[in-house]
């Protein structure tokens, strides 16, 4: 489906469409939370605790640029809840990072760990910056200075960062190195689990890089089994072709499914005969990480991308992409949320009306935190697991989580997002009731 002239006329750049749809992300979390808490009749005291964050750390720190200027950056770490275990969650480097977004992302992490049944709480952080404006050396100094500014607000048994948008294993390695430099030499070896998503040589886990995309595909496989849907020959579209989107696309290809449209920050492309995600990834790697100009597909507008008819849509970019404005355009059977918060509550309502299935973010993209947990365990035990072992354990965990959410949706006769919240809130509620509130 090529972009029609009308589409082109109406074309907003990806950046504009992102800005237009940017409502308060934390308001979305609050609405989702209220819906589930009302339905399950969550204890009112526990409701009060969970509807706010535990700690919000904002740091401003100076960094010397390559041209000797000093820039001052703002970094965040929000710790939502640690009833089930240490705070856990990624770090994002993006111009739109602010306290509202980080609060929302931290809260989703609490639910995600609880649904996956791993002993972590929820946190998130980031720095408000556009990394494309900085050299590698500047990014290293920014990362190290941020880590130093966070000080003991992170720690291997307390709060464990990981990669998210625009951060990667290299950045995790700098965080590790900086953190270790601040602890006494004899304690360093037992602190390597201060961060996950590290390069494998620096204590990372095999399978962590692909874990989120792999988990997305495991949940799609289960959905297909439940629906009696054949993945071979199915069509899919992917928004965001970074860590999550590219891995999900490449792994789904192995099932014989056909990728027909992709969108990233640089634009969108379409090819009805199919786009080879491995070839596209090679192209992106050679072209500054973006897909625009890919010669084996047609450029289309962001609007035409969302209007593309396909079986499965995998949003893997940012929040608030499927909204009251854009959800009516979708012509798919399933939205598998690789990204955090891609659908806002208005979008959700429309997807329900259109009978489009949704595998919600806090289930669908939990493969990342699950394998982060495996990395954390391997570091603590000085073990190194083979890839097959990691994949097999991830499969077991995420399929267990999928079934838990599916069954809860049936029990409460509700949508999957609300069901996922109920699973998470019930397990945290149980722990609070057992342990009580100090003093």
Nearer to ligand NAD, 37 or 322 (CB): 322
Closest CA to 315 of 224, 244, 227: 244
Segment contacting ligand NAD (CB under 6 A): 39-47, 80-88, 163-171, 403-411?
163-171
Q: Which is nearer to ligand NAD, 125 or 163 (CB)?
A: 163
CA atoms within 13 A on the CB side of 371: 31
**What is the closest distance, in whole angstroms, from the C-beta atom of residue 372 to ligand NAD in the complex?**
8
Whether the link from the prior residue into 439 is cis, omega within 30° of 0, is yes
Mark whether 88 is an active-site residue: no
Q: Which of 105, 123, 113 is nearest to 54 (CA)?
A: 123
**Are 330 and 340 a contacting pair, CB within 8 Å?**
no
Is residue 169 close enough to count as binding ligand NAD by CB under 6 A? no
Name the minimum Å distance from CB 264 to ligand NAD.
3
Rounded (10°) CA dihedral 423, 35, 125, 164:
70
Per CB under 6 A, 97 contacts ligand NAD: no
Toward ligand NAD, which CB reaches closer, 42 or 249?
249
Q: Which residues contact 25 (CB under 8 A, 6 or more apart)?
A: 100, 101, 104, 105, 319, 320, 341
Q: What's the min distance (Å) between Cβ of 364 and ligand NAD? A: 9
Long-range contacts of 182-191 (CB under 8 A, 24+ apart): 182/148, 182/151, 190/156, 191/155, 191/156
Report the nearest approach of ligand NAD to the CB of residue 387 (Å): 17
Instruction: Report the residue number, 35 or 321, with the smaller CB distance to ligand NAD.
Output: 321
Tokens of 80: 């939502």
Give the shortest CB-257-to-ligand NAD separation in angstroms.
19
Residue closer to ligand NAD by CB (options 40, 291) is 291
To ligand NAD, the closest distance from the beta carbon of 209 in angstroms equals: 8
- Interaction mask 111-150, ligand NAD, x per CB under 6 A: ----------------------------------------
What residues between 236 and 275 interact with ligand NAD by CB under 6 A? 239-245, 263-265
Minimum separation from the CB atom of position 417 to ligand NAD (A):
15
Residue number with the shortest CB distance to ligand NAD?
A: 242
How many residues in total does the chain contain? 439
Closer residue to ligand NAD, CB minimum distance, 183 or 399:
399
- Cα–Cα nearest to 262, from 163, 252, 254: 252
Contact of 412 with 39, CB cutoff 8 Å: yes
User: Considering 88, 112, 124, 210, which one is annotated as catalytic?
Assistant: 124
DSSP string, 276-330: -HHHHHHHHHHTTT--TT-TTSEEE-HHHHHH-B-SEEEE-S-SS-B-TTTGGG-
Given a contact cutoff of 8 angstroms between Cβ atoms, the answer to whether 87 and 122 are in contact is yes
Residue 311 touching ligand NAD (CB under 6 A): no
Identify the residue among 368, 408, 422, 424 touching ligand NAD (CB under 6 A).
368
Cα(138)–Cα(131) distance, rounded to whole angstroms?
A: 9
Beta bridge partners of 70: 64
Distance CA 117, CA 32 (A): 20
Non-local CB neighbours of 413 within 8 Å, separated by 6+ positions: none
Minimum distance of ligand NAD from residue 377's CB (angstroms): 17
Half-sphere exposure of 428 (CA within 13 A, CB side): 34
At 180 the three-state DSSP class reads helix
Q: What x-and-dash track marks residues 312-351 binding ligand NAD by CB under 6 A?
A: ----xxx-------------------xxx-----------
Q: Which is nearer to ligand NAD, 40 or 277 (CB)?
A: 277
164 in contact with ligand NAD (CB under 6 A): yes
Asked whether position 163 contacts ligand NAD by CB under 6 A, the answer is yes
- Site pattern 16..55 for ligand NAD (x: CB under 6 A): --x-------------------------------------
Any idea which residues carry the catalytic annotation? 124
Interface positions with ligand NAD (CB under 6 A) = 14, 18, 163-166, 212, 239-245, 263-265, 316-318, 338-340, 365, 368
């Amino acid at each position: 489906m090529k972009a029609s002239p009308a589409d082109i006329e109406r074309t907003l750049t990806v950046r504009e469409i992102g800005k237009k749809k940017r409502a308060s992300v934390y308001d979305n979390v609050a609405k989702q939370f209220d819906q589930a808490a009302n339905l399950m009749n969550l204890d009112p005291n526990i409701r009060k605790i969970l509807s706010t964050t535990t700690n919000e750390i904002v740091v401003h720190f100076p960094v010397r640029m390559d041209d000797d200027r000093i820039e001052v950056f703002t970094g965040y770490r929000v710790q939502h809840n640690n009833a089930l275990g240490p705070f856990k969650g990624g770090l994002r480097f993006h111009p739109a990072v602010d306290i509202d977004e980080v609060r929302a992302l931290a809260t989703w992490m609490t639910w995600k760990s609880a649904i996956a049944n791993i002993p972590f709480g929820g946190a998130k952080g980031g720095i408000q910056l556009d990394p494309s404006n900085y050299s590698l050396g500047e990014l290293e100094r920014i990362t190290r200075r941020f880590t130093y500014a966070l000080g003991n607000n992170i720690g291997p048994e307390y709060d464990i960062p990981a990669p998210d948008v625009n951060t990667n294993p290299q950045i995790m390695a700098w965080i590790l190195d900086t953190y270790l430099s601040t602890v006494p030499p004899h304690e360093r070896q037992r602190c390597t689990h201060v961060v996950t998503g590290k390069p494998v040589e620096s204590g990372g886990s095999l399978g962590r890089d692909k874990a989120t995309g792999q988990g997305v595909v495991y949940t799609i496989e289960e959905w297909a089994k439940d629906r009696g849907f054949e993945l071979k020959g199915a069509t899919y579209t992917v928004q965001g072709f970074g860590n999550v989107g590219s891995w999900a696309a490449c792994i789904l290809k192995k099932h014989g499914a056909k990728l027909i449209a992709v969108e990233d920050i640089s634009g969108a492309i379409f090819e009805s005969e199919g786009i080879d995600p491995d070839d596209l990834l090679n192209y992106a790697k050679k072209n500054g990480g973006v897909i625009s100009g890919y010669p084996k597909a047609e450029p289309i507008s962001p609007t035409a991308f969302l209007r593309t008819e396909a079986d499965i849509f995998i949003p893997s970019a940012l929040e608030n992409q499927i909204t009251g404005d854009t959800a009516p355009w979708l012509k798919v059977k399933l939205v598998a949320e690789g990204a955090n918060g891609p659908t806002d509550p208005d979008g959700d309502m429309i997807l329900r009306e259109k009978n489009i299935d949704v595998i919600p973010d806090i289930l669908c993209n939990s493969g990342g935190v699950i394998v982060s947990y495996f990395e954390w365990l391997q570091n603590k035990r000085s073990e190194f697991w083979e890839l097959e072992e990691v994949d097999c354990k991830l499969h077991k965990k995420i399929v267990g989580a999928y079934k838990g959410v599916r069954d809860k949706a049936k029990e409460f006769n509700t949508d999957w997002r609300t069901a996922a919240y109920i699973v998470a809130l019930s397990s945290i509620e149980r722990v609070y009731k057992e342990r009580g509130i100090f003093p």
